[in-house]
Structure 1
Amino acid sequence: MDGTARTPTAYDPASVDRWAQEPDKRPGRTAFQRDRARVLHSAALRRLAGKTQVVTPGTLGPAWDASPRTRLTHSLECAQVGRELGAALGCDPDLVEAACLSHDLGHPPFGHNGEQALNEFASDCGGFEGNAQSLRLLTRIEPKRFTPEGSVGLNLTRAALDAATKYPWPRGAHPTDPASNKFGVYEDDRPVFDWLRKDAPGTRICFEAQVMDWSDDVAYSVHDVEDGLHAGHIDPNCLHADPERRDVFQVALGRYVPADTDPAELAEALDRLLAQEWWPHGYDGTAVAQARLKDATSQLIGRFCLAAETATRTAYGAGRLTRYAAELVVPRETRTECAVLKAVADLYVMQRAEQERLRADQRIVVAELAEALTARAPDGLDPQFRALFDRAADDRARKRVIVDQIASLTDTSARSLHARLTGQGRD
């Protein structure tokens, strides 16, 4: 264990272990302050500025093209939400913030659309999952610390890696849904995964990761609706009309709430939100309306976080809640309200016809780029990945390097590399 950094209160020495021991350059910091700083200064975090969050920058419309949300701004907003909620529940705030900043690092260009295309390409070498890729990046790809055996990535503490692990199981081992494509580790990365999960109770998600996950849900559900309203794609008046409401509920069923949820429950959740005096009724884009929309955003975040804090404290009482000492309790009504917001943004922003055409083109770019790199590698690989490709033991390992290379690209650099390798550009 690295004993030079202070162990934060309420965490045991095993929580601040690092895979590779190392001294602290600035004694006096806590181990989790070091973790947060490492993620904040990483190139992987900066690259999120060029990766799609929900819709591609430049496609929301003139009212919002100057400042679209990206994976980076989403991660920063998620970190702010998570830091405050975690601190209110007794978690170390630097630990939760580090997890929130890390949670999307492994996402490839073009968001979940790129993730789907890469998963198809990597089907015979372990698949692709953004959360598993985040762990791989934190523990292997991001160049920060090296041992004689090779890179150990950012070499974060055990607790930080665990807090960033939303799905602590390998592919096909979902504890309740074996058909789920959500997982948190590739087979190649099992040694460090097994180390970070040492003494963890089965597939139980640690408390800090649960705080991170809820903060992620809160941030993107609220902000996607804010962006959609600002861009003019969501008409708040439509949420009072029965046909539009039925469409929203249909999107929510099966995707954001269980498929057997009573639509009446969704209607009640939406009506609770619409009944709030701060809801941005009649949003028209004026300065006053924008201020009201920002207030509504703050009110929603506060509403969702306070509900979770109150319910969790009711269940567990006062004191510091950390690691495996508690479960985050989010009332069903609150989760349903959050799900309805996700469905509103999904229907009116993500399902626009031009977005689907763009997503189809993006999938082609990723598929053709993967094919071109497979045929020409190591040509086209960055020096870091070229070296890994040359050292790879077999075709499976070489294919994983190609996946790592593509996942590291921004939207723009993916299109640029695709054009260079295929000799064709796609608008």
Structure 2
Amino acid sequence: MSAQNVERVEGGYAALRPGYTEADEARWVPEHGKSVYRSSFERDRARLLHSSALRRLGAKTQVVSPDVDDFSRTRLTHSLEVAQVGRDLGRLLGCDPDVVDAACLSHDLGHPPFGHNGETVLNALAAPHGGFEGNAQTLRLLTRLETKRFHSDGRSAGLNLTRASLDAAVKYPWRAHEAPILPDGSRSAKFGAYEDDVEVFDWIRAGVTGRRKSMEAQVMDAADDIAYSVHDIEDGVVNGRFQLKFLTDPLQRRRVVQTTHDWYLPETDPARIEAALDRLASADSWVGESDGSRRALAALKNMTSELIGRFSHAIFAATREAYGDRPLVRHEADLVVPDETVEEVSLMKGIAATYIMASREQKPVYARQREVIEGLYGLLVETGDQFLEPPFQADFHAAGDESARQRAIIDQIASLTDGAALEWYATLVHGRPVFNRLFA
């Protein structure tokens, strides 16, 4: 049995999936002497499950604030659901399920308090110092901020995951200045590594040319889209934000199609988006109206299951048709997502965007969230390391220039949960404790 297919440990062997090599198992800081019956990739997944960063996702916004109700998804429950979808799809395609699972669990770790609104505010504040991007922050957290191993010179190596798992977690495998050019001629704001994390980024991407994602990263990305497109609808219906029967009204239908086109499918003919809505709404499992009863909740749950199965099966079938039955791992293949599936998933996201993210009632909430993050940033810049937690205080002291000191402050704010950000703001900026909701 070759070293490429097994990992030697004291007392036995932990089998690896075909297609993975010793380079895929390599860690930034080499580790030796593990006497456990687990593969390197199983250990990666365990490290993520036990990380404080994953626990904090339980109190970070997915779509609505975690303190609004006890039904809606948080970043943590969303990540667990993404991992379930991704693990199954990846396994069927030949990926190591633990590599995909690790990528799915880690894909949102870098997101700051208040979801994408918080990310937008932090990016503006950090613009003179390299900006802020949630995916680049994820890489920074995995390889620097959440520490399990250190380099011989004392630098943090983060959780020290394998190259395969780290590469799978890199959703946008390029630096800011290498980002793709969009159809309007602008450069994408999405990127996967800050400039001061380029050393580990280059180590992860050794031997890979261009901007291609690994197969496992593509599965993670698809699972993320599938999970949140479906579950945001379920959360919105249960919380009384909308009913799917609204879409039988021509005005509401046009509104959703327009939002989907503007937010997700700007290059797609709106008629194709309408056709995607027709296909989904004609399914037997489609729930036009829900009254909140157990039977209605069960129907909604059945709809989410059917939709996840529909989207996953379409991707699996198209990818297998393109590549046959061989294991599809790392940089040897690309996930095939049919156009109709892209349109249906995007339509689902467009429904949630119309009735939740873009709703007028959310605007005061977003404004308050901006006020909190901007106020915290201003105070921490003014007070230096005075209020930083010890790890970030150490980063502040070790910083070689002003941008590095500002990055330590940004890292501190990004690490906070929604509740912690509100508490810090009330206590440090206004000098009074707060223990409840956003508008307390």
TM-score (norm 1): 0.96
Matches within 5 A, 1:263-282: 263-282=270-289
- State the partner residue of 2:363: 356
After superposition, the C-alpha distances for 1:284-338 in whole angstroms (9 at most, x for unaligned) are 2111111111000000000000000000000000010001111100100011000
Matches within 5 A, 1:378-393: 378-393=385-400
Output the CA distance in 2 between the equivalents of 1:255 and 1:281.
24
Shift of 1:353: 2.3
Shift of 1:25: 3.4
Taking a change above 3 Å as real, the CA distance of residues 145 and 279 of structure 1, as seen in their structure-2 partners, is same
Matches within 5 A, 1:296-315: 296-315=303-322
Does 1:162 find its partner at 2:167? Answer: yes
Which moves more between the two structures, 136-145 or 6-15?
A: 6-15
After superposition, the C-alpha distances for 1:146-190 in whole angstroms (9 at most, x for unaligned) are 123311000000000000001000013113435211000000000
Cα RMSD of the aligned pairs, angstroms, is: 1.6
Output the CA distance in 2 between the equivalents of 1:27 and 1:413.
37
Whether contact under 8 Å (1:81, 1:219) holds in the other structure is: yes
Whether contact under 8 Å (2:129, 2:407) holds in the other structure is: yes
Equivalent position amino acid for 2:71 in 1? S
1:253 aligned counterpart, secondary structure: helix
Output the CA distance in 1 between the equivalents of 2:353 and 2:289.
20
Whether contact under 8 Å (1:4, 1:23) holds in the other structure is: no
- State the partner residue of 1:241: 249
After superposition, the C-alpha distances for 1:229-270 in whole angstroms (9 at most, x for unaligned) are 11111122111111001000111113111x232111111100
Shift of 1:144: 1.1
- State the partner residue of 1:124: 128
Output the CA distance in 2 between the equivalents of 1:25 and 1:12.
18
After superposition, the C-alpha distances for 1:71-123 in whole angstroms (9 at most, x for unaligned) are 00000000000000000100000110000000000000000111011101110
Does 1:400 find its partner at 2:407? Answer: yes
Whether contact under 8 Å (1:380, 1:417) holds in the other structure is: no
- State the partner residue of 1:62: none
- State the partner residue of 1:319: 326
Taking a change above 3 Å as real, the CA distance of residues 222 and 14 of structure 1, as seen in their structure-2 partners, is same
2:317 aligned counterpart, secondary structure: helix
- State the partner residue of 1:30: 39
Shift of 1:215: 0.1
Identity %: 52
Output the CA distance in 1 between the equivalents of 2:22 and 2:59.
37
* 2:221 corresponds to which of 213, 221, 225: 213
Whether contact under 8 Å (2:54, 2:105) holds in the other structure is: yes
After superposition, the C-alpha distances for 1:323-363 in whole angstroms (9 at most, x for unaligned) are 11111001000110000110101111222222111011101
Does 1:187 find its partner at 2:195? Answer: yes
2:405 aligned counterpart, secondary structure: helix
- State the partner residue of 2:206: 198
Does 1:46 find its partner at 2:52? Answer: no
Which moves more between the two structures, 50-59 or 296-305?
A: 50-59
Output the CA distance in 2 between the equivalents of 1:394 and 1:7.
47
Does 1:90 find its partner at 2:127? Answer: no
TM-score (norm 2): 0.93
Output the CA distance in 1 between the equivalents of 2:135 and 2:102.
15
- State the partner residue of 1:153: 158
- State the partner residue of 2:141: 137
Output the CA distance in 2 between the equivalents of 1:334 and 1:172.
31
Does 1:77 find its partner at 2:81? Answer: yes
Shift of 1:13: 0.8
Equivalent position amino acid for 1:115 in 2? E
Equivalent pairs counted in the alignment come to 421
* 1:8 corresponds to which of 5, 16, 22: 16
Output the CA distance in 2 between the equivalents of 1:107 and 1:266.
30
Unaligned runs of 5+ in 2: 433-438
Shift of 1:3: 6.5
Output the CA distance in 2 between the equivalents of 1:105 and 1:22.
24
Output the CA distance in 1 between the equivalents of 2:209 and 2:178.
15
* 1:370 corresponds to which of 366, 369, 377: 377
Equivalent position amino acid for 1:411 in 2? D
